[in-house]
């Protein structure tokens, strides 16, 4: 066994954690704001965010590492870099993932430096949800074309 199935399982679990959290932040939290008073809503979000901060960085790290491992199976010096539709779609996925990872690194660095992020980062999870959905669709299309 070459490790690919294990990397795939790790990758899928980490993607579920990652996209699940972003989905809840974009789709669920706004509904909570409409139903709960401001103080209770802040406690709920803080409680969930505290747990997510413990899980989220590791899931992103393992998502990137397992993705890189799987990437090397399809794009390398023997198989080429953009010779097939699968490789082209994979390169598009990697580009979109790099946008997400760069936003995460920026956000974490601003937090560590205790500086305010760019105001556009308030909408970053919306972008991540859109790009993540596109990445998921491309992952399914990779083996169709």
Is 19 a residue whose pLDDT tops 70? yes
Q: Which tokens go with 132?
A: 């993540």
Number of domains comprising the chain: 1
Instruction: Give me the pLDDT at residue 26, please.
Output: 93
CB 96 within 8 A of CB 48: no
68-125: pLDDT as tens digits = 999 999 998 888 889 999 999 999 999 999 999 999 999 889 988 989 888 888 899 9
Rg (CA), the chain: 17
Secondary structure class of 76 (helix, strand, coil): strand
∠ CA(88), CA(93), CA(95), 5° rounding? 95
Instruction: Give me the pLDDT at residue 76, please.
Output: 87
In the block, residue with structure tokens 């997510």: 52
What are 80's strand-pairing partners?
A: 76
Rounded distance, CA 33 to CA 36, Å?
6
Is 57 a residue whose pLDDT tops 90? no
Q: Range with the lowest mean pLDDT among 48-52, 58-62, 132-136?
A: 48-52
Average pLDDT, the chain: 92
What is the extent of the structural domain holding 22? Answer: 4-141
Instruction: Give me the pLDDT at residue 118, please.
Output: 85
Nearest to 26 by CA among 117, 133, 137: 133
Instruction: Give me the pLDDT at residue 1, please.
Output: 58
Share of the chain above pLDDT 90, in %: 62
Main-chain phi, psi angles of 62, to 5 degrees: -70, -30
CB 26 within 8 A of CB 129: yes
Please tell me what DSSP assigns to residue 80. Answer: B
Main-chain phi, psi angles of 76, to 5 degrees: -160, 180
Whether the pTM exceeds 0.75: the reply is: yes
CB 14 within 8 A of CB 66: yes
5-15: pLDDT as tens digits = 999 999 999 99
Is 126 a residue whose pLDDT tops 90? yes
């Amino acid at each position: 066994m070459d490790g690919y199935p294990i990397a795939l399982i790790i990758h899928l679990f980490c993607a579920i954690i990652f996209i699940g959290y972003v989905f809840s932040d974009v789709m669920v939290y706004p509904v909570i704001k409409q139903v709960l008073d401001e103080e209770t809503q802040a406690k709920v979000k803080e409680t969930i965010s505290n747990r997510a901060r413990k899980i989220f960085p590791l899931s992103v790290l393992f998502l990137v590492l397992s993705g890189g491992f799987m990437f090397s199976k399809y794009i390398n010096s023997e198989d080429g870099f953009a010779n097939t539709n699968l490789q082209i779609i994979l390169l598009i996925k990697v580009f979109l993932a790099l946008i997400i990872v760069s936003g995460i690194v920026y956000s974490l660095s601003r937090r560590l430096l205790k500086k305010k992020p760019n105001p556009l980062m308030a909408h970053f999870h919306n972008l991540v949800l859109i790009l993540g959905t596109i990445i998921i669709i491309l992952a399914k299309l990779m083996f169709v074309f």
